Amino acid sequence: MDTFSRSRRVVVTGLGAVTSIGHDVNSFWDSLVSGRSGIDRVTLFDPAQFSSQIGAEVKDWDAAQHMDPKEARRNDRYTHFGYVAARQAVKDAGLDMTKEDGDLVGVIIGSGIGGMFTYESQLRVLAERGPRKVSPFTIPSLIGNMCAGLVAIDLGARGPSFGIVSACATGTHSIGEAAHSIRRGDADVMIAGGSEAAITPFSYASFCSMKAMSTRNGEPHRACRPFDVNRDGFVMGEGAGVLVLESLEHAQARGARIYCELVGYAASCDAYHITSPDPDGKGLSLAMRRALASGGVLPEQVDYINAHGTSTPYNDKFETMSIKRVFGDHARRVAISSTKSMTGHLLGAAGGIESVIAVKTIQTGMIAPTINLEEPDLDCDLDYVPNVARRVNVRVVLSNNLGFGGQNAAIVFRAI
């Protein structure tokens, strides 16, 4: 599989991030390498009746300070995050749309769940005030492609524009498919990533019923502990991560600052179970192998893996097995970390924010740690960069994401 190597090269020129530990890339990155957790008791609703009462919320957030107040009122919280992260990325890239052909600029920003705040609030309106009081903006606000649509409208981007939905693999799929759009010649520039805002009562009740979330409510900052023997479930986060991708030729022609190259991407399916990952790790292994092969990267050339690392008993064990299967002896030499230990699990935005992390790792030579890793699970016996960031010369980064439905996505970035 060498689809990428036979077509246009894709580079990263802009980054945007909105998270619980920073509302922009610089503050987010500083918090991350400092090992700061964004997890605390939920404040967006009263969590007293829920088994899990903690989350990584984007606090002190007023969308009207970042976008037109009228648009803020008409759109969901998940759209706010993605829209703001996209504008940050475009500014960071120095992209001037007055000088671009809008037909060759596209947007793929996905969401795993979509407008949950709108969904729940308008259901309450229906129940309490009747159908005539339901907002006409309800459907446009809650659907999962609206963030991409709003960003495209704002930029005048008339190229490929849509939202991908593949649960927690959404962000990585969005970036990978955006790269394909550039390689095919459908666009010169793509704004791509993921956004999510699902810290709501209905969402929490659903995940709590599945017994998927951590109940370490008395120690929020220590609750998310990937690869630790005492992990007890994931902690939900919210926010967005967005990249500006360009063809190498386009970026060079406009004199853009280039962070790195996106060299490989692949998607696969476990075809096993709607929520549980394949215990043999065959699907994720296939995605990693194909992503590496598509970029002409050998396993031993990978310096760092940003793991999916959800802090659930099954995921961490099976992902470790998959890494061993693909990387062989190099699995014990490559640095691996789960930044979800600090950001929580951003669901459909996970791949977006973790791609930002991958790019920043290459740029800075700093590997963010896996915090709260105090007693490693015997089945999780690789180098997970425990608790303290590490300075390393990083040239190649692989990032993994998995989602309900058996969705797998892997993406590879390389210094240029």
pLDDT per residue as tens digits for the range 78-106: 999 999 999 999 999 999 999 999 999 99
pLDDT band at residue 60 using 50, 70 and 90 as cut-offs: very high
Instruction: Name the pTM for this structure.
Output: 0.97
Of 228, 253, 278, the one marking the end of a domain is 253
Q: Per-residue pLDDT tens for 299-358?
A: 999 999 999 999 999 999 999 999 999 999 999 999 999 999 999 999 999 999 999 999
The percent of the chain in helix, strand and coil, each rounded to the nearest 5, is 40, 20, 40
Joined together, the tokens standing for residue 395 give: 């040239």
User: Given this model, what pLDDT does residue 280 score?
Assistant: 84
107 assigned to some structural domain: yes
Q: Do 226 and 278 belong to one domain? A: no
User: Given this model, what pLDDT does residue 7 score?
Assistant: 78
354 CB contacts (<8 Å, ≥6 apart)? 171, 172, 241, 306, 339, 399, 401
Q: Do 353 and 395 belong to one domain? A: yes
291 assigned to some structural domain: yes
Q: Do 8 and 35 belong to one domain? A: yes
Q: Per-residue pLDDT tens for 273-308?
A: 998 888 888 999 999 999 999 999 999 999 999 999
Domain coverage including residue 274: 264-414
User: Given this model, what pLDDT does residue 213 score?
Assistant: 97
Q: Do 95 and 139 belong to one domain? A: yes
Distances (CA, A) of 325 to 288, 306, 329, 334, 366: 10, 17, 9, 13, 26
User: Given this model, what pLDDT does residue 281 score?
Assistant: 85
CATH number of the structural domain spanning residue 277: 3.40.47.10
DSSP character for 246? E
Q: Do 62 and 152 belong to one domain? A: yes
Q: Per-residue pLDDT tens for 241-266?
A: 999 999 999 999 999 999 999 999 99
Q: How far is CA 390 from the centre of its chain?
A: 22
Domain count for the chain:
2
258 assigned to some structural domain: no
131 assigned to some structural domain: yes
Q: Do 82 and 108 belong to one domain? A: yes
Of 253, 286, 305, the one marking the end of a domain is 253
Q: Do 16 and 107 belong to one domain? A: yes
Residues identified as active-site: 168, 308, 345
pLDDT at 1 exceeding the cut of 60: no
Q: Do 208 and 74 belong to one domain? A: yes
